[in-house]
Amino acid sequence: MKKIILISCVLLMAAHAWAEKKNLKITEKVSDLDSGIVVMGTLSDNKFDTMRFKNNSFVYEGFISETSPMVIADDKKRYQIFFADPNSKIEMEVQMQNINVTSIKGSASNDTMRRLTGLQEPMHQAAQQIKQAYQRPGINQDSLSQILGLISQELQRTFKQFIREHAEMEISAFAVYSSLANDRNLNIAFADTLIDMLKGKARSSFYGRECDKLMNKIKAVTKGYMAPDFTLKDSSGKPYTLSKYKGKYVLLDFWASWCGPCKAEIPHMKKAYSAYHDKGFEIISISIDAKEDAWRTALKQFQMPWVHILDVRGEKGSTSDLYHTPSIPKTLLLDKTGLIIDTDLRGPMLEQRLSQLLDN
């Protein structure tokens, strides 16, 4: 009898603890479908629940330790992001056929983020229209470029002002992180300024910490910064350590067997390697192929006489933890100390640069 009572108490305590962990409730009203599938979860930890809704509504309950970007999606992976605060009860209206959140109540952070979107969205639309106008015959492209430059400056000004005014809000950390991750022409100094503006909870939040990690990775592929050291194995299992190549000029080549532009560069790299290897030039090709067989087949096909490494993303020691390479091909030319002196030298540009460095 005592054992039964003890087990019951343990179960009750576990149920109570689970209930305490649920500090977020989202009630959804679906305006365009009576029933269907909805996916909901937090973007930061990529944990999502798939639920079936009926009678035009559903309820999602979960736990978040800090203000978090949430995702609502359908079974076709169309999605929209919104923001939720801990200990909040949110009411939403959504059109599931095109994943359009038409109303959100109960999330102060989402309201704040919408103000930033409201400020910047008209400028983004104007910039897009100007880019489309470039294709029109007889258009003055210099004038359009000047206007785009002014729009870019205003976007930066309003964004910086928003971060300054909301420096301690977690959504600011997410906004900065998204800006860093999506800007192909990132200004390092401006990015450092934005991160330094984050204070308190924003700085210590998940995305505040991710900003630091991402900036380190971005600097690792930027001219004027040192390339981070790594050790990975080649196709025979032999380990290669980047720092052991100090004293040589090294081209780090991020590629994959399925990447057409990567393969188009191989003849140019072969020519450069043949001309300058004996003068102190080395190539380390780092493949991000998910399938090892495809990588090995490509090595046999193209017969590239330099170091080749398969970098399995997600495994410990992966260069994806050190270098920001969201797209390939990506090449970094390092000097004899490991400093990045050039990036993305395409076609004959690599051989021309090596001639400047190694031809007496």
Q: In this structure, what token pair is assigned to residue 35?
A: 């029933």
Tell whether 171 is covered by a domain: yes
In the chain, what are the helix, strand and coil shares in percent, each to the nearest 5? 45, 25, 30
In a domain, 8, yes or no: no
Q: For residues 233 and 240, is the Cβ–Cβ distance under 8 A?
A: yes
Q: Looking at the structure, do residues 202 and 319 belong to the same domain, yes or no?
A: no
Q: Which amino acid, residue 258?
A: W
Find, among 154, 210, 136, 202, the residue nearest to 177 by Cα.
210
User: In this structure, which amino acid lies at residue 156?
Assistant: Q
Shared domain for 241 and 191, answered yes or no, is no
Is the residue at 14 inside a domain?
A: no
Give the pLDDT band of residue 186 (cuts 50, 70, 90). Answer: confident
Which has more confidence, 148 or 177?
177
Tens digits of residue pLDDT in 249-281: 999 999 999 999 999 999 999 999 999 999 999
Q: Find out whether 228 and 198 touch, Cβ atoms under 8 Å.
A: no
Give Cα separations from 14 to 64, 87, 235 (angstroms).
19, 20, 50
**Other residues' Cβ atoms within 10 Å of the Cβ of residue 301:** 11
- Is residue 134 within 8 A of residue 147, CB to CB? The reply is no
CA angle 120, 202, 47 (to 5 degrees): 85
**Maximum pairwise Cα distance, the chain:** 92
Q: Pairing mode, if any, of strands 281-287 and 249-255? A: parallel
259 catalytic? Reply is: no
Closest of 108, 81, 118, 106 to residue 166, by C-alpha: 108
What integer pLDDT is reported at residue 304 of this predicted model? 94
Q: Which two tokens stand for residue 354?
A: 């090596």
| Residues 94 and 175 grouped into a single domain | no
Q: Would you give the distance in Å from CA 18 to the centre of its chain?
A: 33
**Position 242 in a domain:** yes
- 315 belongs to a structural domain: yes
Measured between alpha carbons, how far is 142 from 149 in angstroms, rounded to an integer? 11
Q: Are 164 and 170 in contact (CB under 8 A)?
A: no
We report the CATH number of the domain holding residue 52 as: 2.60.40
How confident is the model at residue 173, as a pLDDT?
Answer: 96
* 33 lies in the same domain as 128: no
Count of domains in the chain?
3
Residues 336 and 318 in one domain: yes
Residues 274 and 171 in one domain: no
| Domain final position from 165, 194, 219 | 219
Query: Does a structural domain hold residue 1?
Result: no
- Tell me the C-alpha distance between 170 and 85, whole Å: 10
Q: Does residue 38 contact residue 73 with C-beta atoms inside 8 Å?
A: yes
Listed range (33-42, 61-70, 128-137, 319-328) with the worst mean pLDDT: 128-137
Q: Print the domain residue range for 286.
A: 231-358
Of 9, 211, 259, 262, catalytic: 262
Same domain, 352 and 311: yes
Average pLDDT, the chain: 88
* Neighbouring-strand partners of residue 26: 60, 90
| Residue pLDDT, tens place only, 17-56 | 444 578 899 998 999 888 889 999 998 888 888 989 889 8
Same domain membership, residue 313 and residue 242: yes
Task: Please check whether residue 6 lies inside any domain of the structure.
Answer: no
Residues 238 and 285 in one domain: yes
Same domain for 178 and 120 = yes
Q: Specify whether 185 is located in the same domain as 242.
A: no
Both 259 and 331 in one domain: the answer is yes
pLDDT of residue 216: 93
- Is residue 200, in this structure, part of any structural domain at all? yes
Torsion of CA 90, 96, 101, 104, to 10 degrees: -20
Gyration radius of the chain over CA positions: 26
